[in-house]
Amino acid sequence: MLYAQVPVRATCFKQIIKPQTPISKEGEAFIQIDLLRFYISHCYLYRDAQKIGGSTDSIYLIDFEQPKPVQFELDHPNLVPNRLQFCIGVDSISSCLGAYEGALDPLNGMYWSWQSGYINLKLEGTYALNQQKEAFQYHIGGYQYPYNALRTVELDLEAGLDFILCLKVDLLLELWDWKQTKQLMRPCLSALRFADILAQSFEISYD
C-alpha cells in the first residue's frame, strides 16, 4: 500500500500564520491569530468520479501551532487524483458516541462542556485597528438539526499529489465581515453562515 502526505497550512495575506506573530497588511500590523484549530474529516481523493484514496485517520485536528499533515492511503497509486473532498468538523454520529482518545479527546479543548458536541473550528485573535486592539473569538460547531455546522469541501487538483491544503484566514474574515460580529461561540444561524464561509476559504496551493 502506498501513502501520501498532504500538508495543511493557514495563511493570512499570503503570510503563514505563526503563534503570537502579528501579520501585516500593506506594511502595517493588522491582525494577530492566537488560536486556530479545526477538524478535518472524511478526506478522500478522486480521479473524476472514482475514489482512489482516503485518509488513514477518520478525523484530524489541525492546530496551527503544531501543523500535521493529512495522510492518505492510495488504493490506486497509478491514478493521479484530480479532486480532493473533505469535511470541516465532526459528523453527528461521531458527536454522539461518547469519549474518544486522540483527535477527539476533550483535552484538546474542542468539546463544549455546557452541551454536547465538538467545536469544528476555533479562531481567536486580535485586530490592530488605528492603534486600537479588538479581540475576536469564533467557536464554530453544532451537530444537530437545524444547526449542523459540518461542511463538505471539494477542491480541484491540477498537479497530482504534490499540493498543500491551505485555509485563507484573510478571505474567511473578509467574507464574514468581522467588523459586525467579533464573538460567536454557540450553534446558531450565524454559526451556519460562518461554516458556509469557512468552506469557501480553502484553496489548493502548489508552492
Partner 1 sequence: MTKLILYSLLLALGGLSWQNFSGNISPPKHFPEWVYPFDKNPLTKAKITLGRVLFYDPILSRDSSISCASCHAPFNAFAHSDHALSHGIEDSIGRRNAAALFNLAWQRQFMWDAAINHLDMQALAPIQHQDEMGESLTKVLEKLTRSKRYQQLFEQAWENQAISIPKMLKALSAFQLSLISAGSKYDKVKLGEAEFNPQEKKGYQLFKLYCNRCHQEPLFSNYQLANNGLAIDSNLMDYGHFEISKNSKDKMLFKVPSLRNLKYTIPYMHDGRFNSLREVLRHYQQAHPYISPSTDSILKKGIPLDDIQTTDLIAFLNSLNDLAFILDPKHRFPKILLQK
What is the binding site for partner 1 (CB under 8 A)? 95-101, 105-107, 109, 111, 113-117, 188
CB of 65 to partner 1, least distance (A): 15
CB-nearer residue toward partner 1: 16 or 96: 96
CB-nearer residue toward partner 1: 30 or 100: 100
CB of 174 to partner 1, least distance (A): 28
CB-nearer residue toward partner 1: 46 or 111: 111
CB of 166 to partner 1, least distance (A): 30
CB of 110 to partner 1, least distance (A): 11
CB 67 within 8 A of CB 8: yes
C-alpha cell read off for 23: 501579520
Kindly give the interhelix angle for 189-199 and 169-176, rounded to the nearest 10 degrees: 140
Task: Give start and end residues of each alpha helix (H) in the chain.
Answer: 169-176, 189-199
Strands 132-141 and 183-184: parallel
Omega of the bond prior to 187 within 30 degrees of 0, cis? no
Q: Is 104 helix (H, G, I), strand (E, B) or coil?
A: helix
CB-nearer residue toward partner 1: 21 or 183: 183
